C-alpha cells in the first residue's frame, strides 16, 4: 500500500470570496445605511455582524484553497482523507480540464454516483513543486493499479471465475483519459497586472 500526502486547492473557495466582497457590502451594509433613517441603532448590529461574517468567510476561503489530502492506494481502490473510500469500479471518468479551467497536473475524477473528486494545483508557484511531484506519483500509481485491475478482470472473465457484476475493473476509457493527463497540454495564460503586485491568471 502506497501513501501520498500533498497540499492542493479544492476549487470551492469562490463562494466565500464573493461573500466578502459582494455579499456583506450589498447584503448587510447597504440595507443598513438605507434603514438608518428609520432604525438609528441598526449599525450597532450590522457592523459587528458584517465583520464577523467577513472573518468567517476569509478563514473558510483560506482553508478551501489550502487543503491537505492523504491518499492510500491499494489493489481495490484508494482512500482519501478528504473524499473517503473510492473503489476503482466507482470511477466513471477522468475528464480533462479545459485550457482556461485549471493547469496541469490538476485532475478531477467523476464517480458513477455523480460525485466529483477535484485536485487543483498552481505549477507557477515554487511552493507547489513538491506537492505537484507527490501528486504526480499518486497519479502514476493510480494508472498502474487501473491497468492491473483491467488485466485481472479480462483474465477472470475468460476463465469465467467470477460473475460480470463482481468484476472490479474500471471503464476502459478511464485508463485512456488518465494517460492523457501525463501528456503536456498547451495552455494560454493571460496575466493581468493588478495592485499590490499580484496577478490574475486566467
User: Which strands, in side-by-side order, build the sheet including 77-80?
Assistant: 2-8, 67-73, 77-80, 84-87
- Top-tier CATH class for 2-11+68-201: mainly beta
Half-sphere exposure at residue 4, Cβ-oriented, CA atoms within 13 angstroms: 23
- On the question of pLDDT at 191 being above 70, the answer is no
Q: Give the tens place of pLDDT for each residue, 151-160.
A: 766 665 665 5
Question: What letter does residue 21 receive in the DSSP assignment?
Answer: I
Q: Is the confidence at residue 167, as pLDDT, over 60?
A: no
pTM for the model: 0.65
Q: How far apart are CA 200 and CA 196, in angstroms?
A: 12
Amino acid at each position: 500500500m502506497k501513501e501520498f500526502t500533498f497540499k492542493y486547492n479544492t476549487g470551492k473557495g469562490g463562494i466565500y470570496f464573493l461573500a466578502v466582497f459582494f455579499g456583506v457590502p450589498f447584503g448587510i451594509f447597504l440595507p443598513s445605511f438605507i434603514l438608518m433613517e428609520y432604525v438609528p441603532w441598526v449599525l450597532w448590529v450590522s457592523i459587528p455582524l458584517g465583520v464577523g461574517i467577513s472573518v468567517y468567510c476569509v478563514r473558510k476561503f483560506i482553508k478551501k484553497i489550502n487543503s491537505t489530502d492523504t491518499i492510500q492506494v491499494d489493489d481495490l481502490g484508494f482512500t482519501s482523507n478528504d473524499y473517503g473510500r473510492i473503489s476503482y469500479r466507482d470511477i466513471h471518468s477522468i475528464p480533462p480540464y479545459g485550457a482556461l479551467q485549471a493547469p496541469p497536473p490538476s485532475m478531477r475524477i467523476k464517480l458513477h454516483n455523480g460525485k466529483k473528486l477535484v485536485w487543483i494545483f498552481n505549477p507557477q508557484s515554487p511552493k507547489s513543486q513538491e506537492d505537484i511531484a507527490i501528486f504526480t506519483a499518486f497519479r502514476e500509481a493510480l494508472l498502474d493499479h487501473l491497468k492491473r485491475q483491467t488485466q485481472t478482470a479480462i483474465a477472470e472473465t475468460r476463465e469465467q471465475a467470477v460473475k460480470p457484476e463482481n468484476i472490479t475493473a474500471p471503464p476502459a476509457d478511464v485508463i485512456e483519459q488518465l494517460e492523457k493527463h501525463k501528456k503536456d497540454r498547451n495552455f494560454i495564460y493571460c496575466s493581468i497586472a493588478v495592485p499590490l503586485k499580484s496577478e490574475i491568471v486566467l
